[in-house]
Amino acid sequence: MKKIIAVLLLLACAVTLLSACGEKKEKVVIWTSGEDYRNQYYLDECKKKFPQYEIVLEYNNTSVIATKVLEEKELCSADILVSEEYQYLEKCSDHLAVLSDFDFSPFLPELVPESKKYTPECKNAGCIILNTKVLSDKGLDEPTSYEDLLKPEYKGLVSMPSPKSSSTGYMFLRQLVNEWGEEQAFSYFDKLSENILQYTSSGSGPMKALEAREVAVGLGMTAQAIVKINGGNNELKIVYFNEGSPYSVLGNAVLKKSASRTAVMEVFNYLSTELCRGNNEKFIPDQIYKDFIPEVKGFSPDVKYGNMANDTLTEKERLLSKWDH
């Protein structure tokens, strides 16, 4: 009898262990428009912090993320949106949870949305990035103005993200509309298109073309250029034209359908507090906190920011309806 009981106990233990081993982890799905190195940082840190969850991070550009949220609604596979442009987050507002328990107080007040449905993640600033080797090999002077980029010697040597698919591309369009007026700005981009190698689908496109020495000039992200330069690419150089640095603000949000899940909220809060601060320190140093400006080699906190007035969703959709490049 004792032997039978012992065997049964062993069987019971085996069943329990097998059940535990086969138990699936709760999945948390993050959609992001961030660069590869930032995405890897977020994913690695989240996996270390929450080994009990299966954390999946999927990349898409800002416009695609918004479109998928709006089209898929409750069937959307994402739980959390990271590094999504404010205008697109506002467009998706009906599908986002109100973050009533989140502490917005550390952030610059002007970056905190009235709806409290998304949190500041970064101030994505732009600049003109040069590949000095390509310029030197082709015997070209460094451009000092937007007008210089229209010169015939730059034909096929300029890269820019498409404003229709990239928040980085749109911020250059928005800024020049504000600085020059709509008619002059659109006329300028009509002319610039003659020298554009291609309008890339993402903000990272110009950097890839610069690193591959396919172009000499990229209209791209300051933080991305700083990372590459500090990483040892001494061919790259950051310059600013008189109009200053354009920028957009990106944020994080939770899908309303997922807000009741403890796992989702734990991951979101970690991403939007500790990892957001780490992102500001390591990768995108433009100020988003009231009392903190990180010191990053190659970054000047005194950079002149451009005129980004009237940066609303309605205005963006109106301008993009005119963009046909």
Distances (CA, A) of 147 to 125, 137, 150, 187, 245: 21, 22, 6, 12, 16
Query: Concatenated DSSP letters for 57-115?
Result: EEE--HHHHHHHHHHHGGG---SEEEEEEHHHHHHTGGGB---TTS--TTB-GGGS-TT
CA Rg value for the chain:
23
Angle between helices 182-192 and 167-180 (to 10 degrees): 130
* HEC string for 3-71: HHHHHHHHHHHHHHHHHHHHCCCEEEEEEECCCHHHHHHHHHHHHHHCCCEEEEEEECCHHHHHHHHHH
Contact between residue 168 and residue 126 where contact means Cβ atoms under 8 Å apart: yes
Cα dist from 124 to 202, 221, 305, whole Å? 13, 7, 11
Residues constituting the chain: 325
The secondary element (H helix, E strand) that includes residue 237 is strand 236-239
Exposed, middle or buried by CB within 10 Å (0-12, 13-18, 19+), for 22? Answer: exposed
Q: Which residues pair with 199 in a beta bridge?
A: 160
Identify the residue whose tokens are 């504000």: 178
Q: Assign domain 124-247+303-322 to its CATH superfamily.
A: Periplasmic binding protein-like II (3.40.190.10)
User: Rounded to whole angstroms, what are the CA distances from 304 to 72, 149, 272, 300, 318?
Assistant: 40, 21, 27, 9, 27
The confidence score (pLDDT) of residue 264 equals 98
User: Taking a C-beta distance cutoff of 8 angstroms, is the pair 82, 32 a contact?
Assistant: yes
10-residue stretch averages of pLDDT, the chain, 325 residues long: 48 48 84 93 98 97 92 95 94 96 96 96 95 97 97 97 90 96 97 95 92 97 92 95 95 98 98 97 93 88 91 91 84
Q: Are 275 and 164 in contact (CB under 8 A)?
A: no
Cβ-based neighbour number of residue 168 at 10 Å: 31
**Domain spanning 26-123+249-282: which CATH class is it, in words?**
alpha beta
Q: Supply the pLDDT for residue 12.
A: 53
Q: What is residue 142's DSSP assignment? A: P
254: how many CB neighbours lie within 10 A of its CB? 26
Q: Hey, where are the domains in the chain?
A: 26-123+249-282, 124-247+303-322
CB 220 within 8 A of CB 167: no
What pLDDT is stored for residue 298 in this prediction?
87
The Cα–Cα gap between 108 and 289 comes to: 5
Tell me, what's the pLDDT at 312?
87
Residue 7 confidence (pLDDT): 45
Q: What's the pLDDT score for residue 19?
A: 44
